[in-house]
Structure 1
Amino acid sequence: MIFSGKTALVTGGSRGIGRAVVRRLTAGGARVVFGFKERADELDGAVAVRADQEDLGTVDALLEAVGDRLDILVNNAAINPPTALADITGEEFDRVMTVNVKYPLLLMRRGAARMPDNGRIINISTLNTAIPAPGLALYCASKAALEQVTKVAARELGDRGITANVVSPGATDTDMFRDTNPPGAAEQTAAFTALRRLGRPEDIANVVALLASPDGQWITGQNIRATGGLIL
């Protein structure tokens, strides 16, 4: 029960990596509030709050559910609409940046004010900031921005013992991965990993748990690439 007495907030906690993170933190004894957009199954020890990240006003609902103290913040929710450069519109740019950068930044700013010393901020990015692919300009740009914001947060909050880190998953078997890749991509990608398989959401959740735990107190301002040794 390493997280006993802690309160955590996880965005995008209804499925995929976010759901695995919620399960991992609650299993460790944390009280977890998680945001969702479309659906949310009940999870023991967790409070689900509907929060569409296209609407910055929904930050209030999440923080109200958290209460006065927030120990662990995990910004996981993101969108990835594959769009060629020639087809990017101003509206689509604003939508992706709002969900993937502005909303997490607002949660970091307001969440840090509720954090005691030695709190934890963990932002989920992607290996695609290092290995970009066609059609992912907005996704890569937004996640790269989030990575830089995290590094600055580590500097600004370090005197309070608050750590801020990024976890960048490689190919992970989630709905987003399968929805944005062609048939057969899962098997082909798995062959390029050192461990010869796709990542599982639980693999990423374990890295998040390490950073959120007391064992992660000396790790800050880092980008942990949890890829299973993926080499492309």
Structure 2
Amino acid sequence: MKHKHKWIGIGAGVLGFFLGMLSLALRGLFNQIQIEQVLYTSFGLIAIVGVISLALAVYYLRKGREAYVIYQTVEEEEANEKAYVSAYRFLDYGTVASNILMIAMLCCLVIVTSPVIENVYLFIFSLVLMFFSFAVANYCVRTIFLIRQYKLSIFSTPKEVLSFLNSYDEGEKQAEMENAYLTLFRLNQIILPALYILLFVLSTILQETQLVALLILIVIHLYINIDQLRKTKRYFK
């Protein structure tokens, strides 16, 4: 295990060195790229993600409803169990796709508000995507109520989500908690530190410190760690 950690450290150092060299090599190339091109390209990619996630969300939520109807009507035990598992699995897939759709919609709205973007069709597309994202979110909430028999709002509060988690059975609750802990660990120890390196590379390439992005990253990183004190205070009374 010690050797494994040693090689991870060496690999991270080598990767950082090559990223630094790459940023210096690409500095001249990025100086020739216009911000307008970057924004239009980003909008196009995000729009594609939004449309795909919209289709997937509707598809999986509908499949979840169909599987739940089968679970309610079929009496044969094996088919009943299979439909039950499928309903919950499709619901989770649809929920993830709905969340990605919401993210894509917000990104599109942020991009079209840039003074560089002067295309009214992109603005209209963003509004249409916003309408569909809220419609899908409402459909998702109603599907959750149908399958899990728990009523959530589109803009659920942390307290509501915690109460929703407590409605799970013990096995699923344990799986959710393990996944949440691993996600938090990866964010704190891997993803966010990697973003610091990425900001360093971008600052080197663009010859300008990405101050706003750095401040946002620091706030998120600090929040994740300081928020752990609430758990400590609540559990170790």
Q: Is the helix fraction higher in 1 or 2?
A: 2
Structure possessing the higher radius of gyration over alpha carbons: 2
Q: Is the strand fraction higher in 1 or 2?
A: 1
